[in-house]
Amino acid sequence: MRARLKKPEKQAIYRKRKWVAEQVFGQIKHGMGFREFTMRGEDITRAQWLFACAVHNVMKAVRYISGQRRKETALAFIC
């Protein structure tokens, strides 16, 4: 891997991995603990995956909203 990343153009390609969907997969697997499907069948596993994605998106929205509230309360104390 070190040999591959010695060239600047290869570093730029590898650096783009931060912006791709790989982050979401890592957050769902590591942060939420979603490592395996609990049922068999394509339809059911697809439903489980969509549910995990929906939970991830809701958690992002909650973090964003709570961050906005913190900013508002901090501004209220300053003013």
**Is 3's pLDDT higher than 70?**
yes
Contact between 37 and 45 (Cβ < 8 Å): yes
Tell me, what's the pLDDT at 41? 95
Q: What angle do CA 64, 65, 69 make, to 5 degrees?
A: 120
**Domains identified in the chain, total number:** 2
For the segment 20-62, what is each residue's pLDDT rounded down to a tens digit? 667 888 889 888 899 899 999 999 999 999 999 999 999 999 9
pLDDT at 76 over 70: no
50 and 22 inside one domain: no
With tokens 């909203």, the residue in question is: 65
Whether 72 and 51 map to the same domain: the answer is yes
Q: Are residues 78 and 40 in the same domain?
A: yes
| Whether residue 40 is found in the same domain as residue 75 | yes
Predicted structure pTM score: 0.61
d(CA 37, CA 5): 35
Q: Is the pLDDT at 79 greater than 80, yes or no? A: no
44 and 69, same domain (yes or no)? yes
Structural domain of residue 52, as residue ranges? Answer: 36-79
Residues 77 and 60 in one domain: yes
φ/ψ (deg, to 5) at 15? -65, -30
Name the DSSP letter for residue 2: T
Tell me, yes or no, whether 25 and 40 share the same domain. no
